[in-house]
Amino acid sequence: MHSIKDIITRIVNQNPYDGILFSGGLDSSIVAALSPTAIGITVTLGRHAEDTPYAHLLAKTIGMKQHRRSVSIDEAIANIPKVIKILKSFDPALPNDLAAYFGLETAKQLGLRRVATGDGSDELFGGYSFMAEIKDLNGYIAHVAKKMHFSSNDIGKYFHLKIVQPFFDQRVINCALAIPANLKIKKVKGKNWGKWILRKQFSDLLPKKIAWQSKRPLEVGSGMTKLRNILSAQISDQEFAANPYPVKFFNKEHFYYYKVYRKVIGEIPRPRSGEKSCQGCGAGMDRNHFHCKVCGHVLPMLERYGLK
């Protein structure tokens, strides 16, 4: 039986890429270390962010050319309508999508054609903290693996770029589902380490600081999370309380995204034959899905896999 490292290495060799959305986190660092001749694109809101030292360290270690894309707050806000129009969504995860948008826009400007991402690693190998609380982790992952979709694919299509996702290859999915849950999330000296098996198997290719770093959401590492308070401030208490729309908003920021959505997309698509209605916005959803792609509402489905 081949190790997950062997499988991912073979996939990278069979699917070359000339660019990487490179945060310096574990997943993009594995993708970079396996193809150091590709150009790493690191996006930050402002000149510096939490990702900066990690991305710089690995790029220097493996001799990879790194292109840094610094985005101003005004520039980020100005492009929110464009990203919402591409994704047809007002999901509160938009700060993550903005980082991907600017990274892929930069790849296009650099003349790159095939850009790799670390998409799928967290979902398949227990990268999110809440996953440590799920009793039937592999059952949950098996469900998620059938429904995974990433905004980088839609944004890549917009820029006419080929998105390469080594972790999203069916061979990796099959291997991940066969790996025991306790090798995905492993407690060492009182600390839960998500993606433990990836950290362990790729520790010879990566500096220790990279292989054993804590999880940083893309929006946090890039600094895009700073936009949340700025956007929330654009909605008054009175406007939020008087919400005239048939949408259950999580917060003022969510309200802001929806107002943009109404301008660039229009009405929320209603359920078609065979679909169910989202409890958050009324949009049509596949009956087997638990996450609404339009508003970001998540149905309570973790209970079926047991919460510790």
Tokens matching residue 153: 């694919």
Q: Nearest-CA neighbor of 196 among 117, 144, 121?
A: 121
Q: Nearest-CA neighbor of 247 among 97, 94, 92, 96?
A: 92
Residue 251 is predicted with a pLDDT of 97
Residue 307 is predicted with a pLDDT of 60
Dist. CA 149–CA 212, nearest whole Å: 27
Average pLDDT over residues 170-177: 95
Residue 288 is predicted with a pLDDT of 80
Q: Annotate 92-144 with three-state secondary structure.
A: CCHHHHHHHHHHHHHHHHCCCCEEECCCCHHHHHCCCHHHHHECCHHHHHHHH
pLDDT digits (tens, 9 = 90+) for 274-285: 999 999 999 999
Amino acid in position 159 = F
The answer to pTM > 0.85 is yes
* Beta bridge partners of residue 64, listed in sequence order: none
Domains contained in the chain, CATH given:
4-226 (3.40.50.620), 228-305 (no CATH)
Q: How many CA atoms lie within 13 A of 3 on its CB side?
A: 10
- Sheet strands (E) in the chain: 19-21, 39-45, 66-71, 114-116, 162-164, 185-188, 191-194, 276-277, 284-285
Asked whether residue 308 carries a pLDDT value surpassing 60, the answer given is: no
Helix, strand or coil, per DSSP, at residue 43? strand
Residue 2 is predicted with a pLDDT of 73
Average pLDDT over residues 37-63: 96
